[in-house]
């Protein structure tokens, strides 16, 4: 079990688009990491959960966690703690 001192916070860029079924959310630097929601807020919460699961899988496999060194202005981001 991790302690608070062990937790890391990551910032990931996301793209949210409205579609015919609600909202689609994607973290473009994590291939295949996408989800949807009935509302924009639900889509944001769902993408955070999807990112946490993706990062957890990378950590389990001892893989590098991709991150952007800089995030372009205007791109929406989410913070995820692990």
pLDDT above 70 as % of the chain: 93
The helix or strand, by DSSP H or E, that contains position 11, with its residue range, turns out to be: strand 9-13
> Which tokens in the block code for residue 19?
């579609």
What pLDDT band is residue 5 in, cutting at 50, 70 and 90? Answer: low
What's the whole-number mean pLDDT along residues 54-61? 95
pLDDT value of residue 3: 55
Q: Which residues pair with 36 in a beta bridge?
A: 24
Residue 2 has pLDDT above 80, yes or no: no
What is this structure's pTM?
Answer: 0.86
pLDDT of residue 7: 76
Q: Hey, how many other C-beta atoms are within 10 angstroms of the C-beta on 19? A: 8
Q: If you ran DSSP here, which 8-state letter would residue 6 be given?
A: G
- 18: β partners: 23
Domains of the chain: residue spans and CATH: 4-81 (3.30.160.250)
């Amino acid at each position: 079990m991790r302690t608070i001192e062990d937790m890391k916070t990551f910032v990931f860029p996301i793209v949210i688009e409205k579609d015919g079924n609600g909202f689609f959310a994607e973290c473009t630097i994590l291939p295949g990491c996408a989800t949807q929601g009935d509302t924009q807020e639900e889509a944001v919460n769902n993408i955070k959960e999807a990112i946490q699961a993706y990062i957890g899988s990378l950590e389990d496999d001892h893989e590098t966690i991709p991150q952007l060194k800089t995030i372009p202005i205007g791109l929406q981001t989410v913070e995820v703690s692990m």
